[in-house]
Amino acid sequence: MNAPLENVTVLDLTHVLAGPFAAMTMVDLGAHVIKVERPGTGDDTRAFPPFKDERSAYFAALNHGKQSIALDLKAENDRALFERLLARADVLLENYRPGTMEKLGYGWDTLHPRFPRLIYGAVSGFGHTGPDALRPAYDMVVQARGGVMSITGEKDREPVRVGASIGDIVAGMFMLQGVLAALYEREHTGQGRKVDVAMLDSQLAILEHAIALTSVTGTPPGPSGARHPSITPFETFHASDGLFVIAAGNDVLFRRLCDALGLPLADDPRFATNPARCENARMLKRLIEAITLDQPKHHWISLLEDAGVPTGPIQNVAEVMQDPQILARNMVVDVLDAQGRPDFTAAGNPIKLSGTEDRTTRRPAPDLDGDRAAILDWLEKPDG
């Protein structure tokens, strides 16, 4: 069973999260990824807790299956070695501040004439163009500036960041999409492309309902807690032992919900259509909770699932990692150590491809410069 990217070699100069996430996904899809790190310290996440045997679980979760070589791109000998790697690579990924690679002599305009098939992926806070291109950024900054924090949290409370680092993760996902598109095009043209992805741009790209609401009403939405501002009922509800979620996203599902709960509301003009339900969302929530408060969560989830109404529990991460559906989809995998024993735990690959093995384990995360000998040996082989 062939992995789709098994003949693709990636030079991963990225660090922390956005770029390493894109490169990690390429590993999961079969690519040969060589992580080029700073001598002495390597990727910043090598120092991120939690640690096991003085090794970072965070680093292992994002860099398993990669090889590592430490190179000082200002040193003559290391530059010569790096250029040998460039000659064999299909993709270069970097997430330095714009201008850094140019100062080193390895920007797109310099590399493309020398290595015309090389695809150059650059992910940064604000992109390689625009007045703020040179500003530094982290996930928190782009979630705030990109509007995501303005709609996250409870009404009349201070804004909060999304718990997952979506400023980085979404940018990494868009970077992967751009690189895959460039690889596809190269099959026809023989030419590489520069893929420029900004974390800030990526936040705007996921504000589908917020942009629609603002453009039509002229008023930007604020935080609405767990409730979707354009679909009702679509939020958390109290049972006798805590909260669970109901997402009845259309009139048919709302009628099923009413039938299951014994609520005579499906033909009530205040609730018969989604726009009407959105206008009367608070009243509808009270009417539903007048029923759901009488029984525990598992009762209502079972009842509504039997009725075909989308519903579910609110699980913590430990519960998610034991969820039978998650486990059946191989979404919790072991990262092995050098002896082939389970060492760390990471998320599996959500991209399931027919004819490709969905492995239950991942190769180890590399020691800093731990693959130098193997990489040098690979460079000597004519077919890679």
Residue 135 covered by a domain = yes
Q: Give the predicted TM-score (pTM) of the model.
A: 0.93
pLDDT at 381: 87
Segment 305-330 mean pLDDT = 97
Strand partners, 94: 122
My answer on whether 188 and 72 are in the same domain is yes
My answer on whether 375 and 301 are in the same domain is no
Domain boundary among 289, 314, 339: 314
My answer on whether 175 and 259 are in the same domain is no
Say how far apart CA 304 and CA 313 lie, in whole Å. 12
My answer on whether 288 and 157 are in the same domain is no
Residue by residue, DSSP assigns 90-136 as: SEEEE-SPTTHHHHHT-SHHHHHHHSTT-EEEEEESS-SSSTTTTS-
105-149 pLDDT, tens digit each: 999 999 999 999 999 999 999 999 999 999 999 999 999 999 999
Residue 2 covered by a domain = no
18-51 pLDDT, tens digit each: 999 999 999 999 999 999 999 999 999 999 999 9
Can you give the CATH number for the domain in which 162 is found? Answer: 3.40.50.10540
Site of tokens 């509007």? 147
Asked whether the CA dihedral 138, 143, 147, 153 is positive or negative, the reply is negative
Residues 82 and 37 sit within 8 Å (Cβ to Cβ): no
Contacts of 5 (CB under 8 A, 6+ apart): 26, 29, 30, 31
My answer on whether 173 and 24 are in the same domain is yes
- pLDDT of 1 over the 70 cut: no
User: Among this protein's residues, is 228 annotated catalytic?
Assistant: yes
Residue 183 covered by a domain = yes
Residue 57 covered by a domain = yes
My answer on whether 187 and 61 are in the same domain is yes
Residue 296 covered by a domain = yes
Q: Is 369 helix (H, G, I), strand (E, B) or coil?
A: coil
Segment 305-334 mean pLDDT = 97
My answer on whether 330 and 274 are in the same domain is no
What percent of the chain shows pLDDT beyond 90? 96
My answer on whether 184 and 264 are in the same domain is no
165-220 pLDDT, tens digit each: 999 999 999 999 999 999 999 999 999 999 999 999 999 999 988 999 999 999 99
My answer on whether 297 and 348 are in the same domain is no
DSSP strand pairing (242-247 vs 234-239): antiparallel
Can you give the CATH number for the domain in which 244 is found? Answer: 3.30.1540.10
Residues 327 and 360 sit within 8 Å (Cβ to Cβ): no
My answer on whether 126 and 258 are in the same domain is no
Residue 353 covered by a domain = yes
Residue 7 tokens read as 């003949």
Residue 227 covered by a domain = no
Work out the number of other CB atoms within 10 angstroms of the CB of residue 275: 10
My answer on whether 64 and 106 are in the same domain is yes
Domain boundary among 267, 289, 314: 314
Nearest to 228 by CA among 243, 208, 200: 208
My answer on whether 90 and 109 are in the same domain is yes
Say how far apart CA 346 and CA 366 lie, in whole Å. 15
What's the domain count of the chain? 2
> Residue 154's domain spans which residues?
9-206+325-380
Residue 211 covered by a domain = no
Segment 264-286 mean pLDDT = 96
Domain boundary among 314, 343, 362: 314
CA 306 to chain centre: 32
Query: From the candidates 228, 238, 298, 299, which is the catalytic residue?
Result: 228
